[in-house]
Structure 1
Amino acid sequence: MALVAKVIIFGEDSMSELFLNVTKREHQGKGASRRLRHAGQTAAIVYGGETAPQSITLVQKDINKALLNEAFYSSVITLDIEGTKQDVILVDLQRHPAKDLIMHADFLRVEPTTVVSKRVPLHFTNETACVGVKIGGGKITHVVSEVLITCQAKDLPASLTVDMLKVQAGTVLHISDIVMPEGVQSKDLLLGEDHNGAIASISVARGGAAAE
Structure 2
Amino acid sequence: MNFEVIAQARVEQGSGASRRLRNAGRVPAIVYGGGAEPTVISLDHNAIFHQLRVEAFHASVLNLNIDGKVEKVLLRDVQHHSFKQLVLHVDFQRVNPNEKLHIKVPLHFVNADAAPGVKLGGGIINHVLNEVDVSCLPADLPEFIEVDLGNLQGGASIHLADIKLPNGVEIMALSRGDNQTVANCSGKLGGEEAAAE
In which range does the TM-score fall when normalised by the shorter chain? over 0.9
TM score, norm. by length of structure 1: 0.86
Given the alignment of the two structures, is residue 99 of structure 1 paired with residue 93 of structure 2, yes or no?
no
What's the TM-score once normalised by structure 2's chain length?
0.92
Number of equivalences: 190
Deviation at 1:204, TM superposition (A): 4.5
Please point out which of 174, 184, 189 is paired with 2:169: 184
For 2:35 and 2:179, how far apart are their aligned partners in 1?
A: 36
Measured against aligned partners, the alpha-carbon deviations of 1:93-137 in whole angstroms (never above 9, x if no partner) come to 111122221111110010222211111111000111222211222
Partner of 1:12: none
1:7: which partner in 2? none
Say if 2:185 is the partner of 1:202.
yes
Q: Mapping of 1:45-124 within 5 angstroms?
A: 45-124=30-109
CA RMSD of the aligned region, Å? 1.3
Structure 1 residue ranges, 4+ long, deviating more than 6 angstroms after superposition: none
Paired amino acid for 1:82? D
Match of 1:155 among 133, 136, 140: 140
Residue of structure 2 aligned with 1:39, choices 24, 29, 37? 24
Q: Distance in 2 between matches of 1:95 and 1:187?
A: 28
Given that residues 113 and 154 in structure 1 are in contact (C-alpha distance below 8 angstroms), is that contact kept between their aligned partners in structure 2? no
Percent identity over the alignment is 43
Q: Which amino acid aligns with 1:38?
A: N
1:27 aligns with 2:9: no
| Cα separation, 2, equivalents of 1:51 and 1:126 | 45
Indicate the SS of the match to 1:137: coil
Q: Shift of the alpha carbon at 1:89?
A: 0.3
Q: Any idea what SS the aligned residue of 1:26 has?
A: coil
Q: Distance in 1 between matches of 2:158 and 2:150?
A: 13
Q: Which 5+ residue runs of structure 1 have no aligned equivalent?
A: 1-15, 208-212
